[in-house]
Structure 1
Amino acid sequence: MKYDVVIAGAGPSGIFTALELVKNNSQKKILLVEKGKSIEKRSCPKDKTKECVHCKPYCNITTGFSGAGAFSDGKLSLSSHVGGDLPDLIGYDVVEELIKYTDEIYLKFGADTKVEGVGNSEDVKGIRRKAIEAGLKLVDCPIRHLGTEKAQEIYLKIEQYLISNGVEIRFNTLAKDFIVEDNSIKGLVIANSTNHDTEKEVYAEKVIVCAGRKGAEWLKELCVKHHINHSAGTVDIGVRVEVRNEVMEEVNNILYESKLIGYPLPFKNKVRTFCQNPGGFVSQENYDNDLAVVNGHSYKNLKSSNTNLAILCSHNFSKPFNEPIKYGIKVAELTNMLGNGHIIVQRYGDILEGKRTWQKELNQSNVIPTLSDAVAGDLTSAIPYRTMVNLLNFIEQMNKVVPGFASVETLLYGPEIKFYSNKINIDDKFETNIKGLYCLGDSSGWTRGLMMASLMGVRMAKNILNEKK
């Protein structure tokens, strides 16, 4: 059970670490441990039941080969200014080169050659002028949209490529603990992810953790146990907004995704838009602790009459409380309780009137919810006052950029929470203070999204390859 490299988590950063090593004929003996299923075996029963059945032991939407990326809308953000803080660690020029390199890999595996959000410079200027007037910052970012169904096809090809080239992938296998001796990594303790039994030890010179956002709490616990240096990160709490395509038509056609940032009064906390899906669908994903959170995705071919996007408010804590992940969990638990385990949907106009939304009011609206089993209710009874005020004031600012955005019928789904990991202290080779232990992707706290996580994996592999020289 001895390997050169053991990778915990088959998300984009883990996949691309293995892929780059294989492409360069490294001859490394690689083990990739994944809690979930292979991508061809991942499916959501909701396609048939039309209602979330809370799959056990994990949600297939968030767990399995390629992580949550296989069931996301599959957007590759082609800018070093989007997707986390990695450029601060290794440099913006390095990240720009890695984006180009990694993008070419996606293209070779079948990504669409079209890039959204480029050209139309005069039209973009018009949107930016409106944003400035509204007190918002527009962040330019070219987007390569894979599409939910196409992303699954691309990652399936990568999975088959890795297996055919000698990478050992153990599915339904849980990474439980690190084996650490004398401040050096020796390996992993692994177990069956269904019942957590049959523990085994696997050994390697290098252990690379790629646990994604879903593994944030697990990694935090191991950091404390093994004295891995880390600091409290950020948790983003907000809602998924859904409007008719007609409202977002101009922005959709010019930018595809409008990345807007603001600091609304009176609190001046950072609020931003995220993951815009023209013609998309609002979706639900479940965490292992039975939390139901809202997300959104869009297909290449199947389109709805609506556009959805997240509006998220960033929360950072210091003293006396500095556990943002636990804070986000509590907010999600309260919202889930009020929705009886379902996602809550509420009309913007009802919030302003100080009332909950009823199903009959949704039935009369122009905006028909694309998340069919969302429950009409009252988000303001669960989302903290400071957060809710930030979100509502940001929506008013958005209305100046996109007239009609703050209409009575605009739908708000909750909770949308991004559990970014505590930020792991790593050097520019991604190594922790434990020799031989590396942290990549969203689980490291340094990246957000498919592209940045993928290129971090590429960089990790290049670091390993360069060690021989």
Structure 2
Amino acid sequence: MNCNNKYDVVIIGGGIGGLMCAYRIAERDPEASVLLLERGLDLEHRQCPIISGKADKCLKCEPCAVMEGIAGAGAFSDGKYIISTEYGGWLPDFMEPAKVMDYIEQADQVLMRFGAQKERFVPNDELKQLCLRYDLHMQQAQLKHLGTDANLKTMQRLVDDLKQRVQIETLCTVTDVNKETHEVFFTHRGKQYSVIGDKVVFAVGRAGSRVFLDWCKRNGVACANNQVDIGVRVELPAMVWEHFSKKIYEPKILYRSKAYGDTTRMFCFNERGLVVTENTDGVLTVNGHAYKELDRKTDNSNFALLCTIRFTEPFNDPIDYARYVASLANKISGGSVLVQRLGDLESGRRTDEKRLKQSTVRPTLNAVPGDLSLCMPKRQLDNIIETLHALDKVAPGTANYDTLLYGVECKYYSARPDCVDFEIKDCPGIYALGDGAGFTRSLSQAAANGLIIGEILTKK
């Protein structure tokens, strides 16, 4: 570890938001000294034992190669880049939507500079109308599917370029930031270090959202809780949704349940992909990936189906709530994640090994057969089941008996700090961006947020 005592900018977190922030600073002010600290491994050393075929279940590696490391959790996503302000985050609440779109396009230009594809999927009103017939509301956007494999290569080229212009240090766990002196304290391989940044940027991502929230509480920073989404990862034969995915790639559909009036959303679609495990501070959840390479494709597609929850007083810990639900699934499964057939869930019986082997849908993740009703709240499960039957009307086969449900999948977006132009109130020179600060929930808006703050810092 060879760090200076002081830097113009210290960026905490090496996800796409942190990388784009560093890129814009280096582009606009080449003389600026920038240090980027990342808790996880460098991109080329991030290897999940499950994805590489060395293990059939999560080994709870520390740090998790899927969730943490240079390029963030987005490095191992399927690389969906949403070119829209209709969804993907809340930046339009803080800037004119046209301005946000401009930064999204700028970030796309940066990614294309390093090899990202040019081709885009475009909205399809015919499919939107089909959904509306059944009270399903499909959000539309131009979208790129980079693919997990191609996305990794693009991000590696971006990182290699950045390393020539900024200092990037991995396996650095930030423990505190002094809001008065801007001294950043961190550990690296068991040793304590500290540096001072004239400006400090929190770009911690979802994996660091709890750490950031704790810092805000200790420093008296007012935060507004965002929503938390809890649900399942659905896996079924790819042909069921091909009439959507071949035209728009990702069907992103909202449904308001008749039973409770809650909104459940279908998103994060992975055509002919696979279900994967994620480890966030020891709690295992599920997600999905999809590759561009033909030999890595499967016969199944998968998507998230999540129910949105917004808590009111006196409860003020939506992240802990989601983690608690997910941890129950971990406990019931003996330290893994659960999978259950939809038909078994609706029949009120547990899926076991024998029943899973009889399934016509072969699971792509070695999850533990079980009963999701033992760990997920009834309200969320009722919403999910009702939504699956509504989706079945536009994609018959969605609500088949053998449709697989993996649990738990949850998305939490941290508590949003009180900011002015992303500078934390009463903490001059300290900024926050991305998913970990509750401003975004997509690669495109997180990337745009990084460019925005990088530009703010170079102007100042």
TM-score category of the 2 structures, normalised to the smaller one? over 0.9
Matched to 2:150, the amino acid is K
| Residue in structure 1 matched with residue 436 of structure 2 by the alignment | 443
Q: CA RMSD in A?
A: 1.3
Aligned to 1:217, which of 210, 215, 218?
210
* Cα deviation, residue 361, structure 1: 2.1
Which shifted more, 50-59 or 6-15?
50-59
| Residue in structure 2 matched with residue 151 of structure 1 by the alignment | 151
In 2, the alpha carbon distance for the partners of 1:13 and 1:49 equals 31
In 2, the alpha carbon distance for the partners of 1:11 and 1:26 equals 21
Matched to 1:149, the amino acid is D
Q: Does the C-alpha gap of structure 1 residues 332 and 429 become closer, same or farther in structure 2, counting only changes over 3 Å? A: closer
Aligned to 1:363, which of 357, 365, 368?
357
Aligned to 2:109, which of 104, 109, 112?
104
In 2, the alpha carbon distance for the partners of 1:351 and 1:314 equals 21
Asked if the contact 1:179/1:186 (under 8 Å) is kept, the reply is yes
Matched, 1:44 2:48: yes
Matched to 1:113, the amino acid is K
SS in 2 for 1:452: helix
Which shifted more, 347-356 or 425-434?
425-434
Aligned to 2:308, which of 308, 311, 314?
314
Matched, 1:205 2:210: no
| Residue in structure 1 matched with residue 68 of structure 2 by the alignment | 63
Asked if the contact 1:13/1:457 (under 8 Å) is kept, the reply is yes
In 1, the alpha carbon distance for the partners of 2:72 and 2:34 equals 19
TM-score (norm 1): 0.94
Matches within 5 A, 1:377-392: 377-392=370-385
In 1, the alpha carbon distance for the partners of 2:292 and 2:304 equals 20
In 1, the alpha carbon distance for the partners of 2:215 and 2:56 equals 35
* Cα deviation, residue 57, structure 1: 2.3
Matched to 1:7, the amino acid is I
Asked if the contact 2:250/2:268 (under 8 Å) is kept, the reply is yes
In 2, the alpha carbon distance for the partners of 1:217 and 1:53 equals 22
* Cα deviation, residue 362, structure 1: 2.1
Matched to 2:97, the amino acid is Y
Q: Which 4+ stretches in 1 moved above 4 angstroms? A: none
Asked if the contact 2:422/2:432 (under 8 Å) is kept, the reply is no
In 1, the alpha carbon distance for the partners of 2:58 and 2:154 equals 27
Matches within 5 A, 1:193-342: 194=189, 197-288=190-281, 290-301=282-293, 302-342=296-336
* Cα deviation, residue 170, structure 1: 1.1
In 1, the alpha carbon distance for the partners of 2:182 and 2:112 equals 36
In 2, the alpha carbon distance for the partners of 1:53 and 1:245 equals 25
Matched to 1:61, the amino acid is V
Residues 352-406 of structure 1: per-residue CA shift (max 9 Å, x gap): 11111122222222211111x2111111111001111111111111111211111
* Cα deviation, residue 429, structure 1: 4.3
Aligned to 1:350, which of 332, 344, 347?
344
Asked if the contact 1:229/1:433 (under 8 Å) is kept, the reply is no
| Residue in structure 2 matched with residue 130 of structure 1 by the alignment | 130
Matched, 1:142 2:142: yes
Residues 197-248 of structure 1: per-residue CA shift (max 9 Å, x gap): 4222210111000000111111111110011121122211000001101111
Aligned to 2:118, which of 108, 113, 122?
113
| Residue in structure 1 matched with residue 445 of structure 2 by the alignment | 452
Matched to 1:48, the amino acid is G
Q: Does the C-alpha gap of structure 1 residues 429 and 344 become closer, same or farther in structure 2, counting only changes over 3 Å? A: closer
In 2, the alpha carbon distance for the partners of 1:304 and 1:333 equals 29
What are the ranges of 5 or more consecutive residues in structure 2 without an aligned counterpart? none
In 1, the alpha carbon distance for the partners of 2:367 and 2:187 equals 35
* Cα deviation, residue 25, structure 1: 3.7
SS in 2 for 1:190: strand
| Residue in structure 2 matched with residue 17 of structure 1 by the alignment | 21
What are the ranges of 5 or more consecutive residues in structure 1 without an aligned counterpart? 119-123
In 2, the alpha carbon distance for the partners of 1:38 and 1:50 equals 21
Residues 293-335 of structure 1: per-residue CA shift (max 9 Å, x gap): 0000100112110110000111111222121011111101111
Asked if the contact 1:2/1:202 (under 8 Å) is kept, the reply is yes
SS in 2 for 1:164: coil
TM-score (norm 2): 0.96
Matched, 1:408 2:413: no
Aligned residues: 453
| Residue in structure 2 matched with residue 180 of structure 1 by the alignment | 179
Residues 95-137 of structure 1: per-residue CA shift (max 9 Å, x gap): 111111111111111011211235xxxxx33322221122121
Which shifted more, 97-106 or 421-430?
421-430
In 2, the alpha carbon distance for the partners of 1:38 and 1:24 equals 25
Matched to 1:189, the amino acid is F
Residues 44-82 of structure 1: per-residue CA shift (max 9 Å, x gap): 122233323424422111110011111111110111112
SS in 1 for 2:179: strand
Asked if the contact 1:214/1:419 (under 8 Å) is kept, the reply is no
* Cα deviation, residue 172, structure 1: 0.6
In 2, the alpha carbon distance for the partners of 1:24 and 1:221 equals 33
Matched, 1:91 2:96: yes
Which shifted more, 318-327 or 19-28?
19-28
Asked if the contact 2:29/2:458 (under 8 Å) is kept, the reply is no
SS in 2 for 1:204: strand
Asked if the contact 1:117/1:257 (under 8 Å) is kept, the reply is no
| Residue in structure 2 matched with residue 121 of structure 1 by the alignment | none
Which shifted more, 341-350 or 419-428?
419-428
Matched to 2:249, the amino acid is Y
Matched to 2:103, the amino acid is L
SS in 1 for 2:156: helix
In 1, the alpha carbon distance for the partners of 2:129 and 2:62 equals 49
In 2, the alpha carbon distance for the partners of 1:448 and 1:29 equals 29
Q: Does the C-alpha gap of structure 1 residues 332 and 53 become closer, same or farther in structure 2, counting only changes over 3 Å? A: closer
Which shifted more, 430-439 or 79-88?
430-439
Matched to 1:147, the amino acid is G
In 2, the alpha carbon distance for the partners of 1:201 and 1:463 equals 25
| Residue in structure 2 matched with residue 74 of structure 1 by the alignment | 79
Matched to 2:100, the amino acid is V
SS in 2 for 1:218: helix
